[in-house]
């Protein structure tokens, strides 16, 4: 009996032990903006266990029960509205004590001229700079470019991209201003870059649209048009849309550069396209605003606005807004092109921004006024007079309107009242339109001695969020 007993002990001692699964969760996607839709799934928890999932181990996102295998399927939730740009954790803790966490990055990128393809120039996700603290913005870095800057910056994944008249597209570290790479576009760049899926798209006066690797600057493809490209590309559903001085709007495959279609207008296209609901809208120097089918290029409608349409359209709530050189802001039915209302703004090359039921647009060149107009009725809500003409397009973010001027000043105004909250005098004229991303503001200048990209942050380098980003960059954690 003793022999059997000892044998059993030995068998138990050397038998493979059951390995308890370690609790894990996966968050998809791994980065998004505040209020972005995410999903969380988990495994390795104890069977039939109640699990609390929290944001930064504080805010409860949801409670779920694991199944008999200790797993739970994808649970849909949202990034908290108050989540600031940077790294965060999603924490899952079971009632029996097992836990897991995953890292999530919050970001509020400004990826193209119109912010999104719809062209509203409203960063609705910005939650760092507000009307209450914008007055503490400080210039944290400037970066010199080789020539004038008409291009407006795009900011994504910790990098700021902007073109210059020296034919180069520049990529700067968003936190430090260090040059990451430059790439030649074969001609001066007035076009503003667009960033999508790891690729930067920009047009040039060399008659081509370029696609560059966003990380390295290597050329992925080029696509020729029959004229110079001043238009800024818009990217939607795997297609890049851009206008050309050969009178045509082009659609290119975003991955390969293959031309999908072109659609003719009656003159130069200096306007940039807006894309929404399967339709592309763009202005032309033949005085018309056009609506084309985004898939085929077929003309859906055109509307004669009475003068050059260099301004780029913005689409919001079924209405397309655009300005003309004869001094009118038009609101048109996006489906039919019927005029809903017009508002007098004098001459403009500025493109409208639309946010919270208000249209913002600047007058140029004789007119030095920024207008805020009721988006539904066309009634003037307020106006602000700068020192001279406003050729840049306003940017709106978290209740603040930013506008550059030919008086060398970048202005920040209360979006509701038009009250001046902050201003900064740059070294030269500002033709580049400002952008707001991850709690920072970027704008370029145009001058013989001051052709630079400026970056601003709250409290400058004493700002805790900015310090965190700077430390992360210096440690190599990109």
Tokens describing residue 88: 């965060």
CA angle 273, 277, 280 (to 5 degrees): 25
pLDDT number for residue 370: 93
Virtual torsion, Cα 261, 264, 265, 267, nearest 10 deg: 110
pLDDT number for residue 444: 95
For residue 241, give the nearest of 156, 338, 117 by alpha carbon.
117
The beta-carbon contacts of 469-478 under 8 Å, at least 24 apart in sequence, are 469/86, 469/158, 469/174, 469/175, 469/438, 470/175, 470/176, 472/175, 473/158, 473/173, 473/175, 473/176, 478/158
Positions of the chain with pLDDT lower than 50, given as ranges: 1-19, 474-478
- Up-side HSE of residue 273: CA atoms within 13 Å toward CB? 32
pLDDT number for residue 388: 77
Residues 6+ away with beta carbon under 8 Å from 19: none
pLDDT number for residue 38: 97
Tokens describing residue 45: 């928890």
- Rounded CA-CA distance 443/464 in Å is 22
Q: Report whether 31 contacts 105 (CB < 8 A).
A: yes
Q: Report whether 347 contacts 362 (CB < 8 A).
A: no
The pLDDT tens digits for 354-412 are 999 999 998 765 668 999 999 999 999 999 998 777 778 999 999 999 999 888 999 99
Q: Report whether 175 contacts 160 (CB < 8 A).
A: no
CATH 2.60.40.1930 fits 24-106, yes or no: yes
Tokens describing residue 311: 């301004």
Q: In what order do the strands lie in the sheet with 179-184?
A: 154-156, 159-163, 168-173, 179-184
The beta-carbon contacts of 417-422 under 8 Å, at least 24 apart in sequence, are 417/382, 418/370, 418/372, 418/381, 418/382, 418/383, 418/384, 420/384, 421/131, 421/134, 421/135, 422/134, 422/135, 422/137
Q: Is 322 exposed, middle or buried (0-12, 13-18, 19+ CB in 10 A)?
A: buried
pLDDT number for residue 389: 72
pLDDT number for residue 469: 58
pLDDT number for residue 17: 40
Q: Report whether 227 contacts 245 (CB < 8 A).
A: yes
The pLDDT tens digits for 27-71 are 999 999 999 999 999 999 999 999 999 999 999 999 999 999 999
Task: Say whether 462 sits in a helix, a strand or coil.
Answer: helix
Residues 6+ away with beta carbon under 8 Å from 337: 289, 291, 300, 301, 302, 303
Answer whether the bond into residue 65 is a cis peptide, omega within 30°.
no
Give me the residue spans of the domains in the chain: 24-106, 122-473
pLDDT number for residue 37: 97
- pTM metric for this prediction: 0.91
**CATH fold of 122-473, please?**
Methylamine Dehydrogenase; Chain H (2.130.10)
Tell me which residue has tokens 């209360």: 414
């Amino acid at each position: 009996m003793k022999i059997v007993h000892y044998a059993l002990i030995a068998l138990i001692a050397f038998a493979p032990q059951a390995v308890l699964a370690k609790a894990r969760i996966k968050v998809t996607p791994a980065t998004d903006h505040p209020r972005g839709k995410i999903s969380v799934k988990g495994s390795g928890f104890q069977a039939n266990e109640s699990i609390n999932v929290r944001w930064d181990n504080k805010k409860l996102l949801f409670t779920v029960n694991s199944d008999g295998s200790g797993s739970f399927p994808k649970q849909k939730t949202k990034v908290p509205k108050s989540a600031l740009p940077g790294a965060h954790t999603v924490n899952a803790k079971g009632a029996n004590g097992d836990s897991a966490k995953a890292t999530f990055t919050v970001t509020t990128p400004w990826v193209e001229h119109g912010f999104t393809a719809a062209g509203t120039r409203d960063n609705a996700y910005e939650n760092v700079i507000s009307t209450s603290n914008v007055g503490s913005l400080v210039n944290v870095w400037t970066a010199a470019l080789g020539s004038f800057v008409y291009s407006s910056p795009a900011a994504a994944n910790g990098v700021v991209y902007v073109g210059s008249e020296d034919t180069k597209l520049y990529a700067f570290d968003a936190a430090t201003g260090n040059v990451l790479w430059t790439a030649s576009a074969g001609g001066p760049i007035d076009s503003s870059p667009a960033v999508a899926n790891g690729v930067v798209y920009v047009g040039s006066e060399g008659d081509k649209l370029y696609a560059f690797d966003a990380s390295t600057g290597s050329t992925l493809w080029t696509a020729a048009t029959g004229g110079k490209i001043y238009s800024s590309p818009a990217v939607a559903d795997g297609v890049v849309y851009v206008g050309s001085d050969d009178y045509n709007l082009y659609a290119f495959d975003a991955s390969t550069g293959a031309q999908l279609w072109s659609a003719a207008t009656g003159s130069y296209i200096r306007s940039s396209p807006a894309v929404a609901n399967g339709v592309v809208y763009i202005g032309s120097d033949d005085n018309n605003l056009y609506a084309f089918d985004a898939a085929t290029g077929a003309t859906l409608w055109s509307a004669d606005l009475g003068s050059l349409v260099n301004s780029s359209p913005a689409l919001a709530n079924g209405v397309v807004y655009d300005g003309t050189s004869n001094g009118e802001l038009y609101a048109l039915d996006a489906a039919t092109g019927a005029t809903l209302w017009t508002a007098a703004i004098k001459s403009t090359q500025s493109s409208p921004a639309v946010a919270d039921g208000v249209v913002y647009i600047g007058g140029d060149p004789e007119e030095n006024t920024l207008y805020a107009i009721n988006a539904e009725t066309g009634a003037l809500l307020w106006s602000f007079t700068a020192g001279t003409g406003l050729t840049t397009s306003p940017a709106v973010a978290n209740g603040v309107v930013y506008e550059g001027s030919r008086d060398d000043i970048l202005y920040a105004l209360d979006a509701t009242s038009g009250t001046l909250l902050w201003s900064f005098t740059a070294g030269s004229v500002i033709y580049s339109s400002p952008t707001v991303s991850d709690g920072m503001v970027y704008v370029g200048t145009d001058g013989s001695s001051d052709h630079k990209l400026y970056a601003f942050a709250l409290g400058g380098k004493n700002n805790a969020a900015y310090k965190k980003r700077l430390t992360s960059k210096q440690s190599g954690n990109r």
